[in-house]
A and B are shown apart, each in its own frame.
Chain A
Amino acid sequence: MEEGDDRFRGGLNLHLGFNSYSARYYYFMRSFGPVKESTHVLALSRSFPIPGMKFLWGRLGFAPLLETTKLSYSKQEDQAFDTKEAQTNLGFLLGVFMQVTNSGPLSFQIAWESALYPAGLTGGILLATGRKQLFTLSAGMQL
């Protein structure tokens, strides 16, 4: 995942699809010192073929976001300053992906997606946005 600063960090993706509709869950976590930051994105989307491109598809949908930041000190005298805060937002998911299936049930997918979020009500009017850019390499099974 990249968040507008050209820095990429790894996470987990789970995909559940039915026909052209899918639910994809992304989880990213990082900790530094007493800070632990977790990012959860649930992308609800519909896939569509790109005309003339055999293996390329597009994906459009919505992406609710939950970000939690937890401050947790190990020393007992500092634990009074422990805090936890959560932020939510609802954005659009726009992406392209390449999917390859073998003769059996296995399928492989590489996806380049962006979850675009308005930066507040007034920020959204002025086209100010935040983005979670998601690169995913996944393997799965068609049931």
Chain B
Amino acid sequence: MGRAIGSLILLIFTLPAFADFTLHVGPASSGGGGPNPVSIPPIQVIDYEFIWVTEEKREWSLSIVPGLFYGQRFMLSEGAYVSLGGGLVIDLNGVGPGLYSAFGYDACGSSLCFNVEFRKALGANFRHLMSPYALRVGVTWRTG
């Protein structure tokens, strides 16, 4: 298990296609109504999100809420961006295909950036429209 994790970390370091890796923490609104403070200490898995951005600015985002997505990041200025794409929307009312959009900002040093992002999704299952969202902050590590 340790070797597998070590190999994965080495792969992240060496593959040039994976340019940025972001770890976010922040509360998600999952369709139950009302605001949700971030957990203190931040140990709830639902508060976390991982984002992997390639050199071509294609991004994979993984979180429990709003879900699992693949899309394109469009840079607006140095640091500010809009992301659009689709994937699997996850909500208290179910799981289903959908679209997402995100607005974010990176304030960067040499290899680490502070990141804040608002991500929302719109999806549907057989009975419901779902629209979860999350406002999160975190750190972006630039490998490229």
Residues of A within 8 A of B (CB): 2-6, 8, 48, 50-53, 56, 58, 60, 94, 96, 112, 114, 116, 119, 123, 126-131, 133
Q: Evaluate whether A128 and B129 lie within 8 angstroms (CB atoms) in the complex, with A60-B103, A112-B122, A114-B118 already known.
A: no
Shortest Cβ gap from B39 to chain A (Å): 9
Q: How many Å lie between the Cα of A76 and that of B122 in the bound state?
A: 46
Q: Which 5 A-B pairs have the closest CB atoms?
A: A119-B35, A128-B35, A5-B33, A126-B37, A128-B37
A125 to chain B minimum Cβ distance, whole angstroms, is 9
Query: Across the interface, do B40 and A112 meet the contact criterion of CB distance under 8 Å?
Result: no
Which residues of the other chain, B, contact A8 by a CB distance below 8 angstroms? 129
Complex Cα spacing A89 to B124, Å:
30
The residues of A that contact B5 with a CB separation of less than 8 Å are: none
Determine the distance from Cα of A127 to Cα of B93 in the docked complex, in whole angstroms. Answer: 23
What chain A residues lie within 8 Å of B13 (beta carbons)? none
User: How long is the Cα–Cα vector from A48 to B129 in the complex, in angstroms?
Assistant: 28
B residues with a Cβ closer than 8 A to A are 26-27, 29, 31-38, 40, 74-76, 82, 84, 91-93, 101, 103, 118, 120, 122, 128-131, 133, 135-137
- A6, A51, A119: which contacts B93 (Cβ < 8 A)? A6
Contacts of B37 in A (CB 8 A): 119, 123, 126-128
CB of B26 within 8 A of CB of A127, answer: yes
Tell me the nearest residue of chain B to A3, going by C-beta: B33
Residues A116 and B135 in contact, CB atoms below 8 Å apart: yes
On whether the beta carbons of B103 and A133 are closer than 8 Å, the reply is: no
Q: Is B120 within 8 A of A50, CB to CB?
A: no
Q: Which of B27, B37, B130, B131 is packed against the most chain A CB atoms within 10 Å?
A: B131
Closest to A120 in B: B35
Contact partners of A112 in chain B: CB under 8 A: 101, 122
Chain B residues lying within 8 Å of A4, measured Cβ to Cβ, are 29, 31-35
Chain A residues closer than 8 Å to B131, beta-carbon distance: 2, 6, 133
Among A5, A48, A112, find the residue whose CB has the most chain B CB atoms closer than 10 A.
Answer: A5
Q: Do residues A96 and B84 form an inter-chain contact, with CB atoms below 8 A?
A: yes
